[in-house]
Amino acid sequence: MMDKKIKLVLSYDGSIYHGWQIQQNAFTLQAVVEDRLEKMLGVPVRVFASGRTDAGVHALEQVAHFTTSSPMDPETLCKGLNALLPEDILVKQASYVSADFHARYSVRTKAYEYRILNADAPDIFQRNYLWHIRRRLDIGKMRRCLSTLVGCHDFSSFKSAGSENRNPVRTIHRAELFSGNDGLIRITIEADGFLRHMVRNIVGTLVEVGRGKMTATRFVEILESGDRRLAGPKAPARGLFLVTVNY
C-alpha cells in the first residue's frame, strides 16, 4: 500500500494543555491527537504541526500532517477523530496533500491574534481567552507602535531568553489592532515566522505603552536595540490564538 500524506486543520482550546509539543509526563495536544489517530489507524502515528504552541495558547486553525498507509479516506478519518477527541480539540478539515507538503517547512506565513479585554469588569465566561486589563489603554499609541513592526526586522528584543539560537530576522506582513465598543481589543500579527514568545513579548511591551508606562519612541528604540532586557513583561498565554497558517 502506498503511503499517503494527510493534512489536518485543527482548532483547540489550549487552556488545560502543556502546549502542543509532546513531552515526557506532560499532557500535550500532540500526544492526545497522536493517541486518537493510533486508535483510528491501528498503528502509531507521528504528527507534524506548523509549530508548537505554548501552554495555555489556543488555535483557531493549526495545521499538521502525518503519513499513513491506511486506505481510510480523509473525511471518514475527520469524523472518526472528532468522535474520539475531547471537546476542546476539533479537526476542522482533513485532506490529502502531495508528498512534498510539510506542515512546518512549507509555511509561507502564520497569523496570531491576541485578545485583551480593556474594561472595569472581567468577562468570567471568556476568562481563558482574554487578558483582562482594567486601566484604560491608549489605543492610538499602541497602533502607532504596532505599525513600526511591519517589514523585515531583527526581533531579538522580543524573543524569549531560552529560545533557540537561530536567525532572529523575521518579516511582519501585517500588524493591526481592532478595538470594539465592548472593550475588546484584538491585535493581529502576520509574519513569515515567529521567535519563541515573540507575540506575547510584543503585546506585553505594547501594553506598557498603552498604560502610559513607556513612550512610543521608547518602543521603537527597544525594537532597534535587539536587547530583550529592555522590553516589557510577556503577556499571559491565555489571550493568544494561532489564527491561520498559510502555505
Residues with a catalytic annotation lie at: 54
C-beta closer to a copy of itself: residue 222 or 245: 245
Interface with a copy of itself, residue 83, by CB under 8 A: no
Element (H or E) spanning 151, and its range? strand 151-154
Query: CA-CA distance, 18 to 196, in Å (whole number)?
Result: 15
Site for a copy of itself in 103-142 (CB under 8 A): 121-122, 124-125, 127, 129
C-beta closer to a copy of itself: residue 79 or 213: 79
Number of residues that bind a copy of itself (CB under 8 A): 15
Applying CB under 8 A, which of residues 13, 34, 54, 61 lies at the interface with a copy of itself?
13
C-beta closer to a copy of itself: residue 46 or 92: 92
Interface with a copy of itself, residue 7, by CB under 8 A: no
Please choose, out of 85-93, 144-152, 201-209, 212-220, the segment that lies near a copy of itself by the rule CB under 8 A.
85-93
**Would you state the cell numbers that stand for residue 134, as one nine-digit string?**
482594567
DSSP string of 177-205, one letter each residue? EEE-TTSEEEEEEEES---TTHHHHHHHH
Please choose, out of 44-52, 87-95, 174-182, 199-207, the segment that lies near a copy of itself by the rule CB under 8 A.
87-95
Applying CB under 8 A, which of residues 92, 108, 134, 174 lies at the interface with a copy of itself?
92
C-beta closer to a copy of itself: residue 58 or 159: 58
Query: CA-CA distance, 1 to 107, in Å (whole number)?
Result: 29
Interface with a copy of itself, residue 11, by CB under 8 A: yes
According to DSSP, the residues that pair with 108 across neighbouring strands are none
Q: How far is the CB of 33 from a copy of itself (least distance, A)?
A: 14
Radius of gyration of the chain (CA): 19
Element (H or E) spanning 84, and its range? helix 74-84
With beta carbons less than 8 A apart as the criterion, state whether 99 and 4 touch.
no
With beta carbons less than 8 A apart as the criterion, state whether 116 and 56 touch.
no
Length of the chain: 247
With beta carbons less than 8 A apart as the criterion, state whether 145 and 213 touch.
no
Applying CB under 8 A, which of residues 18, 21, 74, 88 lies at the interface with a copy of itself?
88
Q: How far is the CB of 122 from a copy of itself (least distance, A)?
A: 6
With beta carbons less than 8 A apart as the criterion, state whether 59 and 75 touch.
no
Note the residues at the interface with a copy of itself (CB under 8 A).
Answer: 11-13, 58, 87-90, 92, 121-122, 124-125, 127, 129
